[in-house]
Chains A and B, each alone.
Chain A
Amino acid sequence: MNTPVLISDFVNRKSFIELDARARAQSLFDEGTYKELVGPFDRIESPWLAKQGIAPQSDDGCIVIKGKIGGSPAVAIAFEGAFQGGSVGEVSGAKMTAALDLAAKDSEAGKSTAAVLLLETGGVRLQEANLGLAAVAEIISSALVLRRHAPVITIVAGTVGCFGGMSLVAGVSSYTIMTREARLGLNGPEVIEQESGIDEFDSSDRALIWAIHGGEQRVGMGLADSLVEDDADKIAAAVRDSVHKGVPDKHRTEQVELYRARIAALDTSSQIDPATLRQQWANPKGVVR
């Protein structure tokens, strides 16, 4: 019997953004193939937060899950935006670095193991300042080693966004998947307004923020690869596609000449219009689902 569709797909979808970091990571794996490593019961907490009167969390806001994605070995490392803004501390940073290193070790031994990084983070945790910054440098280094052997896939879904040092990790990824709700940039609007003034960036201007940092813009201008609806099944499908594509012939961060020339061509006498820039840099390969 044919009944009219009264409830749209949008309402029936399983939102990815509404999931916590653990559920997001789990939703990417083939059913029954995954397990969490160094989980909350291992109780490796931040050694620095309690000394400052801040309650630590037994997983330090970083979830590591190993299993199979589309039949291939993979590890997902997810930052929990709800704990300390998804910030990178010593322990959460070390989890990501160590997981990337182990995936590289397996990959070098012939068992190609992709990494999926779920980045909901404001960057370095200022309560662990220099160890957070050092961890970011180490994550970048380990991601660069792994991506020679297996794809490093970043997902920025929302709503925290991916900012600060961790945006460089997205930058060195093989593939970056974003939703329209997600934002990706080095400096968040509040920080720019604080450092350079409201004339430089009005952090209350939501339209401006998404025009610059939003997923549609980043994919459209070619600094991210796939724009996906906030739907756990579609995001999992995008991740499977990226795993199967494998290591790209040339990573974006190796294309220095192209981007240096694009920056040289910018007119900086006034602010740059995001829509015009997107047209100029248009990414024909950007996938929209």
Chain B
Amino acid sequence: MSEQVGLRGKAWFKALTGSDTSNNGDPNSVLTTTAAVGNESALFLCVVRDKDSRFPCVRDGQVGLEEAFTLATHVRAVIAEDRDKPRPAKRPIIAIVDVKSQAYGRREETAGIFFAAATSADAYASARMAGHPVISLVAGHAFSGGFLTHGYQANRILAFDDAGITIHAMHKEAAARITRRSVAELEKLGHEIAPMSYDVRDYAKLGLLFKLLHADDPRHPTSNEVAEVRRAITEAIADARKGKLDLNNRWESDAAKETRKGTLAVRAALEAQWFNE
């Protein structure tokens, strides 16, 4: 990887919130704070590198046990605090995503990282279902279990449009090895088969994104770029508040009608047969 994972996420967390340090009691790898967006305050969360983490397999910006449970704690705290507020007053939750992957470690497997990740996904999904607008801003890498843990339960997903963005199930070298192809073959296939592509502009064809954003150098955002991203987040929040609480928009989007015909065919057939008794 040409660029260190986590730096873009940290840069955008700082640009949008003015803060770049973790809270007391939290691991250094998780940044959370409340900051203004539009006319309201929102909870921002980001996982960053901590080269001194006591878990060796998260030191490059992976999402591990502490990260997952810390994210879940903060998201659930906001759900509880806003419990009695009407939907329009529930605070937005903004996940800034720049994660290499889940942690690939024995300590993590032994202590059940699968469950830790599920806990965080549950917290984000519960926030969405409670009426909080949950917005993901993919500022760098969004890989696999890392993204499932942090960001993929959002109502609306925003991403930058440059070559430093990768949203994928597995990094190229491992995906090539497992599917018995060379990296070159894998890249060629990605141009023909949108879900396999490592290019965020192909990802946009899947109908999962709300909007693509641009910054000339995402590690050093200009004030105009920050203002533009704030506008996009505000727009995504407003759109989420108008929409349903589930993820149906992902396969009902215009792009999905083209690329996710399989999904739509399954849903139509299953619904018809389900009620036909």
Instruction: List A residues at the B interface (Cβ < 8 Å).
Output: 37-38, 42, 44, 46-48, 51-52, 64, 66, 90-91, 93-95, 98-99, 102, 123-124, 126-138, 140-142, 144-145, 164-165, 167-172, 184-187, 191-192, 194-196, 200-201, 212-213, 218, 221, 223, 251-254, 256-257, 259-260, 262-264, 266, 268-269, 271-272, 274, 277
Contact = CB atoms under 8 A, between A and B. Distances in A.
B159 to A, nearest CB: 12
A130 B271 contact: no
A42 B269 contact: yes
10 pairs of A and B residues whose beta carbons are closest in the complex: A171-B118, A167-B114, A195-B104, A260-B69, A94-B266, A137-B152, A253-B122, A131-B195, A186-B114, A94-B263
Given A102-B274, A221-B112, A200 B170 contact: no
Nearest to A202: B106
Contacts of B201: none
Nearest to B177: A194
B126 interface: yes
Given A94-B262, A212-B110, A192 B105 contact: yes
Contacts of A95: 266, 270
A168 B118 contact: yes
B136 to A, nearest CB: 11
A41 to B, nearest CB: 11
Contacts of B109: 185-187, 192, 201, 212-213
Interface string B176-193: 011100000000010011
B121 A172 contact: yes
Contact of B69 (A133, A170, A196, A259): A259
Contact of B196 (A44, A129, A142, A260): A129
B169 A130 contact: yes
Contacts of A130: 167-169, 194-197, 203, 206, 208
Contacts of A212: 106, 109-110
Interface string B233-260: 0000000000000110011000000011
Given A91-B266, A137-B153, A141-B125, A131 B206 contact: yes
Nearest to A138: B247
Given A52-B189, A128-B196, A268-B107, A171 B117 contact: yes
A91 B168 contact: no
9 contacts: A37-B273, A44-B265, A131-B206, A167-B117, A171-B121, A186-B117, A257-B73, A268-B54, A272-B111
Contacts of B265: 44
A120 to B, nearest CB: 15
A90 B148 contact: no
A247 to B, nearest CB: 15
B31 interface: no
A161 to B, nearest CB: 11
B105 A127 contact: no
Nearest to B269: A38
Contacts of A144: 122, 125-126, 129
B206 A66 contact: no
Nearest to B167: A130
Contacts of B106: 192, 200-201, 212, 271-272
B262 A138 contact: no
Given A171-B115, A253-B119, 12 more contacts: A94-B266, A102-B270, A131-B195, A131-B263, A133-B148, A137-B152, A144-B126, A168-B121, A212-B110, A256-B69, A264-B66, A277-B110
A141 B153 contact: yes
Nearest to A274: B110
A211 to B, nearest CB: 9
Contacts of B271: 98, 102
B108 A186 contact: yes
B215 interface: no
B87 interface: no
Contacts of A172: 118, 121-122
A223 B112 contact: yes
B76 interface: yes
Contacts of A64: 270
B53 to A, nearest CB: 9
A256 B123 contact: yes
A168 B145 contact: yes
Contacts of A264: 66
Contacts of A133: 144, 147-148, 152, 168-169
